[in-house]
Amino acid sequence: MMKSASAFNRRHIVGMLSLSLTGLGMRPSFGQGAEEIAIGMVLPFTGATGPYGPDMKKAADLVVKTINDAGGILGGRKFHLYIEDSETSATTSVTATHKLLDVNKVEVVGGFWGSPEALAAKPLILAANKVEMVSAAADAITDGDNKGQVYRFQAKSSQWGPAGAKVVTSLNLKKINILAQQNPFVVAMIEPFKAEMAKRGGTVLDVIMYNPNQASYRAEVEKAFGSEPDGVFCGSLLTDFVAIAKEVYRGGYQSKIVGLGTGADADGAFLKSVPPEVAEGIHHLQPGPPLNSDAYRKFVKEMGAPEGTVFLFAGNTHDQVCVTALAMEHAKSSDAAVWVKSIPEVCNPPGEEVDDIVRALEMVRAGKKTNFVGAGATVDFNERGDQLNRSFVHQVIHNGKNEIVEIVT
């Protein structure tokens, strides 16, 4: 059937108006209630930290779907999540961030497992007056003038150091060498580790630094383990730790290894990369979720994982999406410079504790004060945007599996 000329003309005029406004950098006012809100994440799918990306993406996708299926935010607007691969590279992360900001027009760039990636992207995000949310630890990420627009969903590196010293001394290891990769994440934990060791009657004999992606770590391993200390604290990521652990086993060294989960766990990737005898007895620690909380149990179920599964990082991206949604709803705005100011209002006490994002959004719309509890942590923040009240999971590898030893606060 032929459409009427008047109907055609109306559509033609509307289309011309829309194109004209877009060309001027404006959006047409009609239908704004249904306009999507673009949010972005830079996550690792390849490179040394690639094993972490898939679960972080899955968690973010799931909660975006939950929010959208429940009607979205701000009167029915849905999230559109854009995700780019960091390739575990600061350079690639800058390119990815440019795309998210310039092409996808996102209001927040989240994810950022690695500190070098987060630090490299930060100036771009702040220059665009958008929000950066990270799952990275280097202290420098929240240092300086961040305009209140950088939020960390992770423990700071300087908090990892004392936690590592607590694990080391709990194993009665008194004389320690440190073997550490040269990067902002690891470097920031060394002095706090040494200070906590001194408080606990321990001694750091030597600090051996190495560069990432070396062809061999034999010389560094010989220096760290050859003097036969009680233990060696290894500040390593996955790829280098695999090589280091194999070198230690080949050398027959007996000093106990205490590593970071970034190297000795990597969501099970380490165990798949070395023979069981190489991994046996290695202790490691990692900031972890509140394993016994209702929020975390619900999250594990949503992820389709067996009860008791330990997701070290996936909860962080889940929480980033939730906090973004709640802050936008509270501020009644998707403008980054506006809604970022509402983050403490919806996350920090006082307020009613709530861990269900749909219910939390309903409470915010009703004008109720919320104290949102996330899957990765309580998501309470200080004035610098650093997350408070993080705990660490101390695990040991036994018979080819990670076993929880204790929770370190």
Question: What are the sequence ranges of the domains in the chain?
Answer: 36-156+295-372, 158-284+391-408
Provide the residue-wise pLDDT of the chain in tens; the chain has 409 residues.
Answer: 333 343 334 334 334 433 333 333 333 333 344 699 999 999 999 987 888 899 999 999 999 999 999 999 999 999 999 999 999 999 999 999 999 999 999 999 999 999 999 999 999 999 999 999 999 999 999 999 999 999 999 999 899 999 999 999 999 999 999 999 998 889 999 999 999 999 999 999 999 999 988 999 999 999 999 999 999 999 998 889 999 999 999 999 999 999 998 888 766 789 999 999 999 999 999 888 888 889 999 999 999 999 988 888 999 999 999 999 999 999 999 999 999 999 999 999 999 999 999 999 999 999 999 999 999 999 999 999 999 988 899 999 999 999 999 988 7
Pinpoint the alpha helices (H) of 226-313.
Answer: 238-251, 261-264, 269-273, 276-279, 294-302
Nearest of 212, 261, 235 to residue 88 by alpha carbon: 212
User: What span, in angstroms and rounded, lies between the C-alpha atoms of 134 and 154?
Assistant: 7
Three-state DSSP at 143 gives coil
> Distance (Å, rounded) from C-alpha 123 to C-alpha 129?
10
| CATH class of the domain whose range is 36-156+295-372 | alpha beta
CA angle 14, 16, 17 (to 5 degrees): 65
Q: In whole angstroms, what is the distance from residue 264 CA to residue 277 CA?
A: 14
Q: What gap in Å lies between CA 351 and CA 347, rounded to an integer?
A: 9
pTM score, whole prediction: 0.81
Q: Nearest Cα to 131, choosing from 333, 392, 274?
A: 333
Same CATH fold assignment for domains 36-156+295-372 and 158-284+391-408:
yes
Name every residue whose Cβ is closer than 8 Å to that of residue 13 and which is 6 or more positions away in sequence. none
The fold of 158-284+391-408 is Rossmann fold (3.40.50)
Helices (H), 52-203: 53-69, 90-102, 115-127, 157-170, 184-199
